[in-house]
Amino acid sequence: MNVSTNRKFADIVFEGGGVKGIGLVGALKAFENKEYQWKNISGNSAGSIVAALVAVGYSAEEIKKLMLKLDYTKITDRSYFNIPILSNTLNLLFKKGIFKGDYIKNWIDEVLSYKLKLTNKNKVTFGDLIIPGENGILLNNKKYKRKYKLHIIATDISNGKMIILPEDIAEYGINPDELQVSLAIRMSISIPYFFQPVTLNNINTNKKSLIVDGGVLSNYPVWLFDVNGAPQWPTIGFKLGGNKEIREHKITNILNFTSSIIETMLEAQDDIHIREMDFLRTVKIDTLDIKTTDFNIESKKIVDLYNSGESCAKDFLKNWDTDYKKYRMLRSNSFNNNRI
């Protein structure tokens, strides 16, 4: 592990998980206390929000304060139809989502711009997050650049593919440098049924694509910064989970029906299938049985989630030096075996 001025370098990946993403921030605090410095940052869904805040320079304590001030009830901003009883069904049928997602996008624009102290514009783009002099690539593919400090995952359901932002936005005729970070996040947090998909018009073909939550295809993209052989520095993943089995869902209406689908999709898809190598570099955060879509979360639960994340990260760090040595060995062996 590289150490410079007592700081440890690492890439970091934040899993998605709705309001449970607050736990990611507590885990971040434990690593800050150990003077970690993040090279490249990625996230999906709620993890993309935390990733962006870290990328512009917010500390865990600052993010915690933002999370406590955020009005979570406004995240569920009703869409066009606001008819009692029928509104959820009508919005699902005609807008493909119950909530607009405007409030959270505007909030992201505000807090990112404030931190970077932008004077000539009010929307941070990926061009504002370029690492000077960084020429490295990702995924052994010249298309994906390490020069972007932040990468966000989303899903194009019209074309049935994962998109890695900002680079993949070029396929739609948009300059990656000019992509608004808040728009990329809005794509990534578009939990199916809950939030309206982002409609993306391809400038080259004039075809429209619907973009939704990256968790549909990869909720935990810890693989994004992997290199051939042993890495120069580690990738550490923050994964949201719990010590309890997924609860039985009580389904009585369209809202908790869709909630149950999302809970099952995001929480059960890959937890059992984490490879040993990925397990060694994964901070598993106990989310205290709080639901992904609990947008009425109380301040006490926010603090509890934060504290849980910090505690779980501290436990992870106790064995990290040994686990990372084992990870590097497994990674090297895997690479050498693949070359034979």
The residue written with tokens 């690479």 in the block is 335
How far, in Å, CA of 11 to CA of 5, rounded?
18
Q: Which of 45, 218, 259, 260 is catalytic?
A: 45
Is 42 among the catalytic positions?
no
- 323 DSSP β-pair partners: none
Neighbours of 130 (CB within 10 A): 16
Is 45 among the catalytic positions?
yes
How far, in Å, CA of 181 to CA of 247, rounded?
34
How far, in Å, CA of 65 to CA of 79, rounded?
28
How far, in Å, CA of 197 to CA of 186, rounded?
9
Beta strands in 260-337 (DSSP E): 282-286
Q: Which of 128, 213, 278, 286 is catalytic?
A: 213
- Parallel, antiparallel, or unpaired: how do β-strands 150-156 and 7-14 relate? unpaired
Distances in Å between the Cα of 109 and the Cα atoms of 70, 78, 304, 320, 327 are 14, 20, 27, 35, 38
Phi-psi region of 198 (alpha: psi -120 to 50; beta: other; left: phi over 0): beta
Token representation of residue 15: 């899993």
Contact 202, 295 (CB under 8 A): no
How far, in Å, CA of 335 to CA of 340, rounded?
9
Helix (H, G, I), strand (E, B) or coil at 334: helix
How far, in Å, CA of 175 to CA of 156, rounded?
18
How far, in Å, CA of 13 to CA of 18, rounded?
15
Q: Sign of dihedral through CA atoms 293, 115, 226, 169?
A: positive
Q: Which positions are catalytic?
A: 45, 213
